[in-house]
């Protein structure tokens, strides 16, 4: 599943690179990621709240590939945190 989603992420990042608007994935990240991956905690040395625009994300493609791999593999969010619903990642 991760292999299929990765090219889609890269295409989306390429399409969004010139935009400065908020990311459509932010509600998903706020629900499942920002609690640990924020400026204060920066769990795993990762502050996802720093990526507020598509241009910021596009500048860190390798990092976002890793994020997507962890999400699609089910490694994130970790237990006992609430798990994402089936299809929720795809919708984001």
Domain-wise residue ranges, the chain: 2-91
Average pLDDT, integer, range 36-58: 92
**In angstroms, rounded to a whole number, what is the distance separating the alpha carbons of residues 82 and 84?**
7
pLDDT at residue 3 in the model: 52
- Give, in order, the Cα–Cα distances in Å from 83 to each of 8, 31, 33, 63, 91: 22, 10, 11, 21, 15
pLDDT in tens, 61-89: 999 999 999 998 889 888 888 887 778 87
**pLDDT for residue 92 is more than 70:** yes
Tokens representing 21 are: 């608007």
pTM score > 0.85 for this model?
Answer: no
65 versus 23: the higher-pLDDT residue is: 65
**pLDDT for residue 18 is more than 80:** no
**In angstroms, rounded to a whole number, what is the distance separating the alpha carbons of residues 15 and 70?**
23
Q: What is the separation of C-alpha 10 from the centre of its chain, rounded to a whole number of angstroms?
A: 12
**In angstroms, rounded to a whole number, what is the distance separating the alpha carbons of residues 62 and 59?**
9
CB atoms within 10 A of CB 25: 20
Q: What are phi and psi of 21, to 5 degrees?
A: -75, 170
């Amino acid at each position: 599943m991760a292999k299929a989603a990765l090219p889609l992420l890269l295409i989306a990042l390429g399409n969004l690179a010139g935009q400065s608007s908020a990311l459509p994935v932010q509600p998903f990240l706020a629900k499942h990621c920002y609690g640990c991956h924020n400026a204060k905690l920066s769990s795993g040395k990762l502050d996802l709240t720093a990526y507020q625009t598509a241009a910021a994300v596009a500048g860190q493609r390798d990092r976002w590939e890793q994020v997507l791999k962890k999400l699609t593999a089910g490694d994130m969010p970790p237990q006992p945190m609430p798990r994402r619903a089936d299809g929720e990642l795809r919708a984001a």
